[in-house]
Amino acid sequence: MPIPNGLTWSLRKIWHNREVFLQANGVDKFVQAGKFRIQKMYKFLHQVGAQVGWKRLICNSHASPKSTFIMWLAVQNILATKDRLIRWQLSIDGTCGPCQLESESLEHLFFSCSYSQEIWKQVLLSLGMTRTVLPWHEEVKIAVKKSRSKQKQAYKYSIAFIESVYCVWLQRNSKVFRDHVDPVKTIVSNIMFNVECRCQ
């Protein structure tokens, strides 16, 4: 494929990432009146990127920006959990720090792990809900549904979910780097304090 005329430096960089042009079967899709149109390429890429179910959970989030960011990484399964680090050839112990029983993965950490499961269970109780903690993808589905609602209780629920994921991740890091985790009770009261502050 010849490089089209009139490409700016930044577009030349994009050109070198041929994948998008291969997907589009060439450059013609992005050319109008003999000129390369970035808007056309954006629309093409936007169309290629699938609509994600968790969009509202992140975009409607009233949780803290730091926790929303961790949630955004978690829903895409790109948090640096030990199973992923091992896949990147890092020579580390893959055991989950907080429970010391199973391998650390996203699904284990949220919330199959006995430590994090107790946190989420207690948070749910504080929200007036008594139910079994479900596997990660089921919990995300529930939180996404709640994030679409304008009811205060649902709004509170999604903040609590995001803050819980964040706090569990912080505790996981604390165990890795400082060999320490806080008691469940302390974490739950911190989460509920943040939830109440964010619901004011």
- Tell me the three state secondary structure of residue 150: coil
Pick from 79, 99, 124, 159 the residue near Zn ion by CB under 5 A: 99
Report, in Å, the least distance between residue 173 CB and Zn ion: 14
13 and 38 Cβ atoms separated by less than 8 Å: no
Q: Does 113 bind Zn ion (CB under 5 A)?
A: yes
Q: Does 160 bind Zn ion (CB under 5 A)?
A: no
- Regarding 71 and contact with Zn ion (CB under 5 A), the answer is no
How many chain residues are in contact with Zn ion, going by CB under 5 A?
Answer: 3
| 181 forms part of the interface with Zn ion (CB under 5 A) | no
Q: How many CB atoms lie within 10 A of CB 183?
A: 9
Please give the helix or strand (H or E) that residue 47 lies within, else none: helix 38-48
Residue 41 beta carbon to Zn ion: minimum distance, rounded to whole angstroms? 44
> What DSSP element (H or E) covers 22?
helix 19-23
Cβ closest to Zn ion, residue 58 vs residue 113: 113
Look at residues 181, 172, 191 and name the one whose alpha carbon lies nearest to residue 80: 172
- CA pair distance 81, 89, nearest whole angstrom: 13
Distances in Å between the Cα of 85 and the Cα atoms of 88, 90, 99, 104, 113 are 5, 6, 19, 10, 19
CB of 93 to Zn ion, least distance (A): 13
User: Min. distance of Cβ 126 from Zn ion in angstroms?
Assistant: 22
Rule CB under 5 A: say whether 119 interacts with Zn ion. no
- Give the interface segment with Zn ion, choosing from 10-18, 80-88, 97-105, 186-194 (CB under 5 A): 97-105
Nearer to Zn ion, 38 or 92 (CB): 92
For residue 162, which of 10, 46, 57 has the smallest C-alpha distance?
A: 57
**Cβ of residue 111: shortest distance to Zn ion, in angstroms?**
10
The residues that touch Zn ion, with contacts defined as CB under 5 A, are: 96, 99, 113
